[in-house]
Amino acid sequence: MPTLYIVATPIGNLKDISLRAIETLKEVDFILAEDTRESFKLLNHYGIKKPLISYFQHSRLSKVEHILDLLIQGKNLALISDAGTPGINDPGGRLIEEVVKKFGERVQIVPIPGPNAAITALSISGFNADKFLFLGYPPHKKGRNKFFKEVAGSKHPVVFYESVHRILKTLAELNQLENLKDRQIMVARELTKKFETVYRGKIEEIIPQIENQKLGEFVVIVS
Ligand code: SAM
């Protein structure tokens, strides 16, 4: 049966990859990557030489069809994203959806677990993470208010992603919500990378500390 491996890769530090992930990437016929240049760095580091096929959310249907064709031919494929676990808030999810819809039980989908930015941040938060709400990215326009209300109304810690371009705007808007002002939050920047920084405190205490950051990827956790 053709197999599609969903392989988690590092979120920064190249050493954060499992032996099984490396082994799988060395064995498959093709690797499907979000951005081939980005994945090349990782594959090169581990001496993995396999044909790469790029996929991304807005790729034309023909690319998905091509990938489905390879599965029909019985090829084994590995899907990786730019960072972390494919399908968790990245375009891999759409491809997995198509494969499940089109092939059902005829293709084996095998997870090769590993890093994920949300879980990595949660693991050091010190907030009770027995239950939590993961909300992905805040919408830019439509649904943004609803998103913030959901954060404010949650009984459990809320985890979400944000980019460097929008982190200050998002934190400022969160701070406008009455019952969030005094809440403890944690912001994790550049996890596992050289400039890894973790900020803890109230929103108004954290904003000035990240005002000068021009680079970075962020996970926000609201207690
Ligand atoms: N699939 C990925 C995962 O498993 O975490 C998430 C992909 S999503 C497109 C990328 C977002 O994850 C970034 O904008 C950032 O919010 C968060 N992220 C990824 N790597 C990170 C890191 N090293 N430190 C902090 N946040 C990170």
Q: Percent of the chain at pLDDT above 90?
A: 77
Distance 217 CA to ligand 1 centre (A): 6
Last residue of a domain, one of 68, 84, 112: 112
Q: Is 157 helix (H, G, I), strand (E, B) or coil?
A: coil
- The total number of structural domains in the chain stands at 2
Residue appearing with tokens 């108004």:
204
Residue 170 Cβ < 6 Å to ligand 1: no
2: pLDDT strictly greater than 60 = yes
Q: Are residues 45 and 69 in the same domain?
A: yes
Distance 221 CA to ligand 1 centre (A): 13
Q: Are residues 77 and 134 in the same domain?
A: no
CATH number at residue 121: 3.30.950.10
Q: How much is the mean pLDDT over the chain? A: 93
- pLDDT at residue 196 in the model: 97
Confidence class for position 105, pLDDT limits 50, 70, 90: confident
Q: Are residues 71 and 98 in the same domain?
A: yes
Q: Are residues 133 and 203 in the same domain?
A: yes
Beta-sheet pairing, 185-189 with 77-80? unpaired
Which residue, by CA, sits nearest to atom 16 of ligand 1?
A: 161
CATH number at residue 33: 3.40.1010.10
Per residue in 121-169, pLDDT tens? Answer: 999 999 999 999 999 999 999 999 999 999 999 999 999 999 999 999 9
Q: By the 8 A CB rule, do 11 and 88 touch? A: no
Q: Are residues 72 and 128 in the same domain?
A: no
The model's pTM is: 0.95
DSSP states along 51-91: -EEE--TT--HHHHHHHHHHHHTT--EEEE-SSBSTTSSST
Residue 219 Cβ < 6 Å to ligand 1: yes
Q: By the 8 A CB rule, do 127 and 223 touch? A: yes
Please state the rounded mean pLDDT for residues 91-105.
Answer: 88
Q: Are residues 76 and 101 in the same domain?
A: yes
Q: Are residues 179 and 200 in the same domain?
A: yes
Q: Any residues with CB less than 8 A from the CB of 89 and at least 6 apart, and which?
A: 136, 137, 161
- pLDDT at residue 68 in the model: 85
Last residue of a domain, one of 96, 112, 128: 112
Distance 201 CA to ligand 1 centre (A): 21
Range of the domain at 189: 117-222
Q: From the alpha carbon of 118, which atom of ligand 1 is closest?
A: 5
Last residue of a domain, one of 112, 145, 165: 112
Q: By the 8 A CB rule, do 109 and 67 touch? A: no
Confidence class for position 213, pLDDT limits 50, 70, 90: confident
Q: Are residues 101 and 189 in the same domain?
A: no
